[in-house]
Structure 1
Amino acid sequence: MKNKNSEKRRGFFTGFAAALLIAGLTVSAASAYGRTISVNDNIRLSINGAEFIPLDVSGTAVEVFTYNGTTYAPIRAICEAVGLDVQYDSQNRIARIVDTKSGQMDNYIGEDAARKAAFSHADVTNATVTKSTLKWDDGRAVYEIDFTSGSAEYDYEIDALTGKVLEFDIDRADNRPTQGQSSTDGLISADKAKSIALAKAPGASVVRCQLDYDDGRAVYEIELRSGRTEYDCDIDAKTGTVLDWDVDYDD
């Protein structure tokens, strides 16, 4: 019989598409920080309906358990069972999961192309990149490109396969319309958006106005203040429609 009080100090994978059968037996395990935690043990795995027992490199079965509602399982055993390669970078302490069979990584546009896509969309030529990383988000690989140009700060997400702009945020210190986002693009100006918000809160002052783009919709996020009253307003950047309006009274 396995010792269910052993230390759970291995690398574990969470959230993978494997069915988990929880027996409900609660035991104690020592964490990497020397404290005792309560876990649910005796959990069995199945992959596509077939029972699966994860093994370590020596062929010994590795226990799966839950802690605080999260299930922990060995990353290498499960990934390799479904055809993914796991490479551990000990220097940077990163477990890299690679789909070598699909060759999807070979089709990524590359970091330079992602930067060019972001610069082109923002209509800037002279920019300073502050962040440029490849990450996995919502089931797909995306490049996160953050940069500054003049008084504006830009945050972009670019699809790593297609080069499509998925999301972007533009923040200008002076709250003027950003270059490339004028009325010729079908968007109302920042000044127009602010006037719509101010019409709902006479006497208030705009303290922030930012153009945000998410899931295909351009939105002005506007914050206003009048005395101890704060307003948060979202306005559709194409139609001028007030999408959200919140009022907070500072006591």
Structure 2
Amino acid sequence: MGKNQSASLHRTLPTLALSALLGVVVMTPAAGCASGADNSGSTGGNAPAEAQQKPASDQQQDSASATDQNTQERAATGADDKSMKDAGNAQGADGIMSQDEALDVALAEVGLTAADVTVTKNALEVDDGIETYDIEFASQTDQFDFTINAKTGAVLERKVEAVSTTSGNVADAIPEDEAKTIAAERAGVPEGSATFTEVKLEQDDGVAVYDITLTDGTTKYECTLDAKSGQVIDFSSEAIQGSAS
């Protein structure tokens, strides 16, 4: 190789080396930028997903907590309702006394017991906006009619009447005891279990009759007999209000 070629080569090699070095320097930041862009994009893409997942998890926890709280509140409310219901049952519905309690009040007023009378009515009613018990019962000698305040037990009204057992002057009329026996047999009630609240001998359209009313504690019977023959002219029955069937 000639001197001129060798000198030219020595001048060219440094230039090429410098160009190569500059190319590496220039490309390296670019690659770094690209890598940075990719990393940034990757980080930016993941950040919203994490942000979305975290509130969802928190929301599930909040929902579970709210459900537990509602369950506890319902359980507490149910316990309160049960306690109130039990208290109401102990005191009676709306503070109203029972039929037996009302009857005891009426019996105490006249100095009798349940064994002394036959109850013909014991019903809860509303009188002028006030809840009352209308109670009727009879002993062997008297009929009683009471109105009792269903909440306070106060006696609002009391009536006592002698059992009607009057007999007119009717010739050839059968005896009163025989008429009572006929009426009890027609009602299907043993005479010893019947309470007679009315036995009346009278004239009805010129015909002598016995009007007899009796009860067996659950049903009231009304019987009209021909006073001379003892034949049953009319008969009816009615369940007593408030009695157990």
Task: Report the TM-score when normalising by structure 1.
Answer: 0.27
The higher-RCO structure (CA 8 Å, 6+ apart) is 2
Q: Could you say which structure has the higher strand fraction?
A: 1
Task: Please identify which structure carries the higher helix content.
Answer: 2
TM-score, with structure 2 as normaliser: 0.28
Q: Looking at CA atoms only, which structure, 1 or 2, has the larger radius of gyration?
A: 2
